[in-house]
Amino acid sequence: MTKMMRAVEITSPGGPDVLQLTERPIPEPGHGQVVLKVAYAGVNRPDALQRAGAYDPPPGASDLPGLEASGEVVAIGAGVSGLALGDKVCALLPGGGYAEYVATPAAHCLPVPDGMDMKQAACLPETFFTVWSNVFTRGGLKAGERFLVHGGSSGIGTTAIQLANAFGARVFATAGSDEKCAACVALGAEKAINYKTDDFVAALRAEGGADLILDMVGGDYIPRNVKALAEDGRLVQIAFLQGPVAELNFALMMVKRLTLTGSTLRPQSDLAKARIAQDLHEAVWPLLEAGKVAPVMDSAFDLAEAAAAHARMESSDHIGKIVLKVSG
Ligand SMILES: NC(=O)c1ccc[n+]([C@@H]2O[C@H](COP(=O)([O-])OP(=O)(O)OC[C@H]3O[C@@H](n4cnc5c(N)ncnc54)[C@H](OP(=O)(O)O)[C@@H]3O)[C@@H](O)[C@H]2O)c1
């Protein structure tokens, strides 16, 4: 008889209330995969986009939301080496984290860093994979450069501030309240700009311009980012909270020799994600284990309260990460 588990599904595209508890079969590990008994699942903005019908899972992925989790390895598929039953890991998921069990490629699992609990570990994969691959690999951030991250108090922003600071960049952030700006400074930003009262373009130009900008806002931020960049600056676009369409004078790109780029993590190949996991293990896990970088925790909800967790995220009142307690 098929063994069943509790999960949260998206009953139809819509607001937080379409997230409902259900029962689903416990997944089996495919080739190269493990199954985790989920302790905590991280909640991310892309989950809300998926819930609203604006971000479909890639082919073959679970239709259940949830892009990251911490948990214990309870089943191992063929072709997996380096993981054993009972190992405590955190993992980037193709989907399906809002459930008691989830299958994911073994190569996308990382050990729970020494000294970190399962709740914190669940918050690591989505933002650390995204920030590492966009800020350091794609954006090429170097020590001493001026780095601007928008949405500095978000899950992505709090991770980006800490990592850029740890690798010696000068960090600037924008956020929507003085309280959020204070949180950005406490995390290592040299200056945080309340975008509701101050102009980030003027603030960055006063410093000589940004060498790298990580942007999730888009819309009219796109031409303003281009103005805020220094010569040879790079703009890395990871989302469009204000929309993907803008009018842009490309002459500035030519004159300042700018690079405009971007990426999204979920549709990338398993191999590409495995390479990011390897890089993180080598370059970032020692910082987590030394306590030099840590996830910023906002709040935890029970799995059955996933709708309330989404409502909190969409209120934008939160600072840092929101998690679902599954069996932790
Ligand atoms: N490309 C990728 O691979 C990838 C991966 C993961 C996440 N993302 C994207 O990265 C972003 C952050 O994700 P997250 O999980 O960290 O989300 P999050 O914690 O909910 O953060 C979103 C932040 O954006 C700010 N914001 C919301 N609406 C805004 C608007 N209209 N204009 C300006 N700022 C706005 C809010 O801060 P304020 O109150 O300060 O405005 C909020 O803290 C999301 O857009 C997500 O889709 C992309």
Q: Per residue of the chain (328 residues), what is the pLDDT tens digit?
A: 689 999 999 999 999 999 999 999 999 999 999 999 999 999 999 999 999 999 999 999 999 999 999 999 999 999 999 999 999 999 999 999 999 999 999 999 999 999 999 999 999 999 999 999 999 999 999 999 999 999 999 999 999 999 999 999 999 999 999 999 999 999 999 999 999 999 999 999 999 999 999 999 999 999 999 999 999 999 999 999 999 999 999 999 999 999 999 999 999 999 999 999 999 999 999 999 999 999 999 999 999 999 999 999 999 999 999 999 999 6
| Integer CA distances (angstroms), 44 to 67, 193, 257, 322, in order | 8, 23, 34, 8
Ligand 1 pocket test, pick from 241, 266, 298, 314 with the greatest ligand atom count within 8 Å of Cβ, gives: 241
Rounded distance from Cα 5 to ligand 1 centre (Å): 31
Q: Which pLDDT score, from 0 to 100, does residue 307 have?
A: 98
State how far the Cα of 74 lies from the Cα of 86, in Å rounded to an integer. Answer: 6
Number of H helices, E strands in the chain: 11, 15
Q: What is the pLDDT of residue 234?
A: 98
Ligand 1: residue of 194, 214, 216, 310 to mutate (most ligand atoms within 8 A of CB) is 216
Q: The tokens of 142 are what?
A: 């170097």
C-alpha 314 – ligand 1 centre gap (Å) = 9
Give the pairing of strands 101-105 and 33-43: antiparallel
Q: 311-314 long-range contacts, Cβ below 8 Å, gap at least 24?
A: 311/16, 313/43, 313/45, 313/48, 314/16, 314/48
pLDDT given for residue 78 in this prediction: 98
Tokens of 175: 């956020």
CB-CB neighbours of 302 under 10 Å: 11
* Ligand 1 pocket: which of 44, 49, 198 to mutate (most atoms within 8 A of CB): 44
Minimal-distance CA residue to ligand 1 atom 39: 176
DSSP state of 99: B
Kindly give the number of the ligand 1 atom that is closest to the alpha carbon of 49: 47
DSSP for residue 183: H
pLDDT given at position 208: 98
Would you call 192 helix, strand, or coil by DSSP? strand
Residue 154 CA, ligand 1 centroid: distance in Å: 6
Mutate to test the pocket of ligand 1, among 154, 213, 242 (most ligand atoms within 8 A of CB): 154
The whole-angstrom separation of Cα 177 and Cα 194 is: 6
What are the tens digits of pLDDT across the range 25-72? Answer: 999 999 999 999 999 999 999 999 999 999 999 999 999 999 999 999
Q: Please tell me whether the overall predicted TM-score, pTM, comes out greater than 0.75 for this model.
A: yes
48 Cα nearest atom in ligand 1:
47
Torsion of CA 49, 50, 52, 55, to 10 degrees: 70
Question: What is the atom index within ligand 1 of the atom nearest the CA of 43?
Answer: 15
Q: Whose CA is nearest to atom 41 of ligand 1?
A: 176
The set of protein residues with a Cβ atom below 6 angstroms from ligand 1 is: 44-46, 126, 130, 151, 153-156, 175-176, 180, 216-217, 238-239, 241-242, 263-265, 313, 316
Nearest to 228, CA basis, from 176, 160, 174:
174
Domains and CATH numbers, the chain: 4-124+266-325 (3.90.180.10), 128-262 (3.40.50.720)
Contacts of 97 (CB under 8 A, 6+ apart): 38, 41, 42, 64, 65, 66, 67, 68, 69
- What pLDDT score was predicted for residue 2? 82
